[in-house]
């Protein structure tokens, strides 16, 4: 086992036998292209199952399993596997969602009330830093929820360690994610259409594809 030495996820349904001839940076686009219709279905499914808000964390778990399966070229039953991960990880997913939501809400509360409460100005930078760290931690939280039998606080601890030891990679991934979200916000008519149809699943896939080798190296490989 790796440095974290936790229970590993069970065996999958079998990896496809075709050899990967492309280098990993190109595989992300190859898998995206051959699974494009699945990305659309998953984005729409995520949007629908996230409407109650309290289900967002569980929905991310289902979507992350899809992203993992695509990134690792493993077979998947789209809807049954999605809802299986949704159901099994509902409460941990909810805790993870709240963990990432509270710092974000705190930041915006301070930001939009600086005029009325000047002392909030002193909290803006610390809260911004906290949100950046939590964003990078979130890249690792949901894969651990799905695949490893770890208590929630252990997942948070591991995610913080991953966020720090792979800081350059995490900053790059965070930059790409925020850039995509900014462009979607900048062009709202396109963003409103693409987000539920494609962007949600793509962002999750990009993150999972980028960080999974790190998780596997430290939690599974000898």
Rounded to two decimals, the pTM is 0.87
- Nearest Cα residue to 210 out of 154, 160, 140: 140
Buried-exposed string 80-114: b where 16+ CB fall within 10 A, e elsewhere: ebbeebbeebbebbbbbbebbeebeeebeebeeee
**Distance of alpha carbon 86 from alpha carbon 80, whole angstroms:** 10
Stronger pLDDT, 25 or 197, i.e. the higher one: 197
The per-residue pLDDT of the chain, averaged, comes to 89
Cα 43–Cα 211–Cα 193 angle in degrees, nearest 5:
20
Per-residue pLDDT tens over the stretch 150-209: 999 999 999 999 999 999 999 999 999 999 999 988 988 888 888 888 999 999 999 999
What is the three-class DSSP state of 75?
Answer: coil
Parse the chain into domains and list their residue ranges: 25-219
Give me the pLDDT at residue 168, please.
Answer: 97
Per-residue pLDDT tens over the stretch 105-118: 999 999 999 989 98
**Distance of alpha carbon 151 from alpha carbon 158, whole angstroms:** 11
64 burial (CB, 10 Å; 0-12 / 13-18 / 19+) is buried
- Nearest Cα residue to 208 out of 84, 87, 70, 98: 70
Contact partners, residue 205, CB within 8 Å, separation at least 6? 28, 32, 39, 66, 67, 70, 71
């Amino acid at each position: 086992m790796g440095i974290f030495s936790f229970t590993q996820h069970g065996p999958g349904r079998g990896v496809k036998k075709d050899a990967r001839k492309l280098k990993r940076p190109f595989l992300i686009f190859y898998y995206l292209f051959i699974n494009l219709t699945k990305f659309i279905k998953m984005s729409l499914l995520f949007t629908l199952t996230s409407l109650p808000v309290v289900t967002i964390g569980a929905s991310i778990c289902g979507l992350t399993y899809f992203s993992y399966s695509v990134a690792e070229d493993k077979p998947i039953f789209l809807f049954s596997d999605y809802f299986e991960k949704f159901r099994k990880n509902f409460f941990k997913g909810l805790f993870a969602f709240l963990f990432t939501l509270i710092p974000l809400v705190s930041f915006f509360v301070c930001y939009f009330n600086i005029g009325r409460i000047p002392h909030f100005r002193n909290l803006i930078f610390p809260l911004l830093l906290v949100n950046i760290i939590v964003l990078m931690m979130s890249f690792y939280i949901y894969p651990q929820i799905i695949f490893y039998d770890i208590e929630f606080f252990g997942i948070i601890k591991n995610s913080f360690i991953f966020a720090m030891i792979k800081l350059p990679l995490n900053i790059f991934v965070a930059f790409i994610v925020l850039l995509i979200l900014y462009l979607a916000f900048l062009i709202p008519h396109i963003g409103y259409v693409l987000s539920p149809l494609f962007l949600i699943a793509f962002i999750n896939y990009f993150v999972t594809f980028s960080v999974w080798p790190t998780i596997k190296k430290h939690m599974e490989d000898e």
